[in-house]
Amino acid sequence: MPWRELQDKARECLGETQPIDCVVHSMDNPMIRNQSISRTKKPSTKKFELPIQSLIKDAQNDTMECSVAEDALYLYRSVLFGYRDTHPLSLATKAIMDSKYFVKEWCFKEHNLDPLIALSCLFLPSFDELETELMRPLSPAVVVAVPLSSTIGELKVVAQAAFRDTYCIMDKFVASQIGGLKKIDENKVVCHSIEPSSPVWVRGSGLDLGTTLRYEDGAQRLTVDCCCGAKYDDGERLATCEVCNVSQHTRCSGIADKEDAPSDFLCSDCVAVSRRK
């Protein structure tokens, strides 16, 4: 619509053109429903125009189909795999690859219709088991959640099921008592007998000490003493010293991942001893 025609229409309806002039000159890309009105000046005629554009059409043209798999592959190739090997990035990548445990914090609701208490249950082996079989550090605690009104006997059943479900060596574990040196009466209520922040020691029997799934690194007995602090086989490639039979990570010993571990490997301690001689 030409400017003159717009003024004529305004004059017919309002009797004057001042309101329409004020509106047009103060217009700054307003949006009405799914359309926007822009104020532009045509270079050829030097006249102002008010084109109306549809926002839905532009949004449909700009919308691209989302593919999580393709986006993840692009991220891996362009950033993680194909990025230049800068020092901070290589350190961050190595830290992620070397991480063994990922911890997730579970928050229990304080205001619940059936309040729960979270307890950390630890297996307490016998003295003979500690002396002859369980030479390594004890396994981490198993967290269980029981109602506040539960008894010690009910907690024992829940802890037994949790241990069986977590460790292969405890597939046939039978819990005999709750408490360390002193057994707690099974008829007592949990909230009156155990502090939420204190560990719960569980005694029992039925450990399958002969299973190959006893340890993460299998049934083999290795003596690991690496400069990184590792004291057991954590899944990284190891090289065993031919003198003292102590195993260390090949990466920590300066052996690249693409290289084979030497058959005549010497650990750092034996190398230091040989140099002093």
Span 57-113, pLDDT tens digits:
544 444 455 677 777 777 777 766 666 655 666 677 666 666 655 555 566 655 555
Same domain, 277 and 257: yes
Q: In this structure, what CATH number is given to the domain that contains residue 159?
A: 3.10.20.90
Query: Is 90 exceeded by the pLDDT of residue 197?
Result: no
Q: Are 219 and 212 in contact (CB under 8 A)?
A: yes
Q: Is residue 101 part of a domain?
A: no
Does residue 173 lie within any of the structural domains?
Answer: yes
Q: What is the pLDDT of residue 134?
A: 66
* 207, 173 Cβ separation under 8 angstroms: yes
Angstrom distance (rounded) from CA 118 to CA 107: 10
Out of 29, 46, 62, a domain closes at 62
Mean pLDDT over 2-13 rounds to 78
> 76 or 125: which carries more pLDDT confidence?
125
Residue 77 lies in a domain: no
Find the distance separating the first CA and the last CA of the chain, reported in whole Å: 101
Domain count, the chain: 3
Q: CATH number of the domain at 244, please.
A: 3.30.40.10
Neighbours of 269 (CB within 10 A): 15
Which of 205, 234, 259 lies at the terminal end of a domain, its last residue?
A: 205
**pLDDT per position as a tens digit, 172-190:** 999 999 987 788 899 999 8
Its domain, for residue 19, covers 3-62
Model confidence at 131: pLDDT above 70: no
